[in-house]
Amino acid sequence: MRMTQLFSRTQRDAPADAQVVSHQLLVRAGYIRQLAAGIFSALPLGFRALAKIEQIVREEMDAIGGQELKMPVVNPAEVWQETGRWYQIGAEMARFKDRKDSEMVLAMTHEEVVTDLARQIVESYRQLPLLIYHLQTKWRDDPRPRAGLIRVREFTMKDSYSLDADEAGLDAQYRAHYQAYFNIFHRCGLDVIAVGSDTGMMGGSLAHEFMALTPIGEDTLLLCDGCGYAANRQIARFQKPAAPAEAPLPTERVATPGVTTIEDLTAFLDIPAAKTAKAVFVIAEISDPTPHAQFVFAVVRGDMDVNETKLANALHATELRPATEAEIRAIGAEPGYGSPIGVRDALIVVDDAVAASPNLVAGANAPDAHLRNVNCGRDYQPDIVADIAAAGEGDACPQCGHPLRAERGVEVGNIFKLGTRYTEAMGATYLDHEGKPHPIVMGSYGIGIGRALACVAEAHNDEYGLVWPITVAPYQIHLLTLGPPGSDATAIADRLYAEMTAAGVEVLYDDRNQSPGVKFNDADLIGLPLRVTVAKRGLKQGAVELKRRDSAEREFVPLDDILPTLRARIAEMEAEIAATVVEIPLEA
């Protein structure tokens, strides 16, 4: 491709709203342009880079038995209503009516469509296992799109779906995806870790997220350097410090004027935070058995915080929001002085550490007063006892006790064991060897293509611009001519461009009538792996300059040797990437 014909242009300055490096560089280098919040066009350079990632994905999916198809982005509401997700998913799912007034959905994911296809196509166990996938545009109306391609509303996703006769088959397909995902990301030059994650709206029994570690990530990961435990903070477990054994003591009311926080309370009473009970008031949207709002009084020990994902999972809630002061007082509690003792019309959810900690200090449900020696089970009865506490850096690993380390990460892929959650709801069954029907066992697996590209850009750049891995770069070679039109340098560059193209080398040719400084700056900004410069200085020796983008070293290569040298350098860079593709054990 000649840059005089390229539908793109570079920019010296990044957009004012571009806060992360990948967003800044992808715009400045002419890879993407924003149309609206969370909605981007991929220009030819960006499109080619995305296509490189898609091809890697296809190769790895095909290698584990995947069959590519294409499913519609517009779905009738009925299939989403069959599984219940029509009622569980909020405003992020786009709903509309067609001209016949039928309810329709812009699909965020395709479990329902796959299940509908399976109940039409799969009849016998002899047809299983199966693995299907597609690459398709998705829409999720994220209320807070940010960071360029990291968090968008319209995006391309690879989603694949496994169909099996039993859990053993699902286990095998899940493990195959786990390895395939590491292969994909390593081939893209992206270092990732897999962490246990929440199943969320997908449901199922097990999920892993593939995380690119970066300070710009919105997810907090808890990692153990002692045993390898890794989990998203949403579900991370930890060993909670045990409370000393004590006999329950009589409750005692104590005046605490103006003391509304745990910090104030511990200072006022001169006690550790672990001797207090922290009240959290939320309104939960619960869909089972019928959609309704439920006031929830959650209690954790004062040395811990509530984990909203764990709390929502304990409640089987689709959404949580903070309760208002009026709502808190309506159940008989007092903001800042809340206690589960004596409240009404509230679901009481207690962390397991609270249930095992005697004689805590809790609010008295009256201004400026607390109660000493509050005991769960004696003074109030919880409706649910569960792990609802948030893990944090320094907490003890649940497996080995080593202090956990916190890192930030961006989710670039996820895998889910769905089991029969969808097939039972929609009646997708197969007949076993005895002719008995059983629900098909499913798995679901996703990769965000644009987000993966952004994470590669986030990881591979320097002060001058992008530094693409050879496997993702839109072109392998950036060819520059420093001579004016009609010069010997330009004539030789034209010839080299034709020869490289004929030889199957991917080359972007800067044939613009621009100064050397502009061309070098743009080459660094665009970030192609290899740069070939045709200039008067080198031609005096019958050579051209060759430079790797990720190195300061330059070499002069004789004109007759440039094509075989380029092939060798490309092979070297591909081998460097290939060496990172290794077997990764599945972490539970």
The token duo for 579 is 């060496």
Residue 200 above 90 pLDDT? no
Q: How confident is the model at residue 202 (pLDDT cuts 50, 70, 90)?
A: low
In whole angstroms, what is the distance from residue 105 CA to residue 114 CA? 15
Q: How far apart are CA 71 and CA 68, in angstroms?
A: 10
Q: What is the pLDDT of residue 499?
A: 96
Of the listed ranges 102-111, 311-320, 445-454, 460-469, the least confidently predicted one is 311-320
User: Residues with Cβ < 8 Å from 364, sequence gap 6 or more?
Assistant: 253, 334, 337, 339, 370, 371
Residues contacting residue 566 through CB under 8 Å, at least 6 positions apart:
476, 477, 500, 505, 530, 532, 546
User: Among 250-259, 314-323, 498-507, which is the least confidently predicted range?
Assistant: 314-323
Residues of the chain with pLDDT > 70: what percent? 98
- Asked if 221 and 409 count as a contact pair (C-beta separation under 8 A), the reply is yes
Count Cβ neighbours within 10 Å for each residue of 391-406 and write b for 16 or more, e otherwise.
bbeebbbbeeeeebee
Structural domains of the chain ordered from first start = 42-192+421-458 (3.30.930.10), 252-386 (3.90.960.10), 465-578 (3.40.50.800)
Q: Say if residues 29 and 461 touch (Cβ distance below 8 Å).
A: no
pLDDT of residue 290: 77
Provide, rounded to the nearest whole percent, the portion of the chain with pLDDT above 90: 89
Cβ 315 vs Cβ 281: under 8 Å: no
- 120-124: which pairs have CB atoms within 8 A and are 24 or more residues apart? 122/163, 122/428, 122/430, 122/440, 123/430, 123/431, 124/430, 124/431
Residue with tokens 């994911």: 109
Check pLDDT > 80 for residue 501: yes
Residue 261 has which token pair? 């926080």
Mean pLDDT of 473-499: 94
Burial degree of 356 (CB within 10 A; 0-12, 13-18, 19+): middle
Nearest 5°: phi and psi at 497?
-60, -45
- Residue 415 phi/psi, 5-degree rounding, is -135, 140
CB 41 within 8 A of CB 463: no
Is residue 523 exposed (0-12), middle (13-18) or buried (19+ Cβ within 10 Å)? buried
Residue 272 reports pLDDT greater than 70: yes
Q: In this model, does residue 455 exceed pLDDT 60?
A: yes
Residue 201 has pLDDT above 70, yes or no: no
* Mean pLDDT of the 503-517 span: 96
Q: Are 328 and 337 in contact (CB under 8 A)?
A: no
Read off the pLDDT band of 496 (50, 70, 90): very high
Say what the pLDDT of residue 479 is.
98
CB-hemisphere CA count at 13 Å for 488? 9
β-pairing verdict for 154-164 and 441-448: antiparallel
- Give CA 90 to chain center in angstroms: 19
**Average confidence score pLDDT of the chain:** 94
Distance CA 133, CA 272 (A): 54
**Residue 398: strand, helix, or coil:** coil
Cβ atoms of 226 and 402 closer than 8 Å:
yes
Confidence (pLDDT) at 67: 98
Decide: 365 and 332 in contact? Cβ < 8 Å: yes
The residue written with tokens 């091809």 in the block is 55
**What one-character DSSP code corresponds to residue 252?**
E
Mean pLDDT computed over 452-456: 97
Picking from 474, 455, 412, 524, the residue whose alpha carbon sits closest to that of residue 21 is 455
More confident residue, 200 or 60: 60
Beta strands in 259-368 (DSSP E): 277-286, 292-301, 317-322, 347-351, 360-363
Could you tell me which of 57, 157, 50, 7 has the C-alpha nearest to residue 472? 50
pLDDT score at 115:
98
pLDDT greater than 60 at residue 275: yes
Q: Are 482 and 513 in contact (CB under 8 A)?
A: no
Cβ(530)–Cβ(547) under 8 Å?
A: yes
Q: 479, 497 in Cβ contact below 8 A?
A: yes
Confidence category of residue 203, pLDDT binned at 50, 70, 90? low
Per-residue pLDDT at 588 exceeds 90? no
Using CA atoms, how far apart are residues 100 and 98, in angstroms rounded to an integer?
5
Which tens digits make up the pLDDT trace of 539-575? 999 999 999 999 999 999 999 999 999 999 999 999 9
| pLDDT single digits (tens) 119-173 | 999 999 999 999 999 999 999 998 889 999 999 999 999 999 999 999 999 999 9
Helix (H, G, I), strand (E, B) or coil at 235: coil
Looking at per-residue pLDDT, the higher value among 31 and 235 belongs to 31
**Cβ atoms within 10 A of the Cβ of 407, count?**
18
Q: pLDDT tens for residues 350-402?
A: 999 999 999 999 999 999 999 999 999 999 999 999 999 999 999 999 999 99
Pairwise CA distance, residues 410 & 408, whole Å: 7
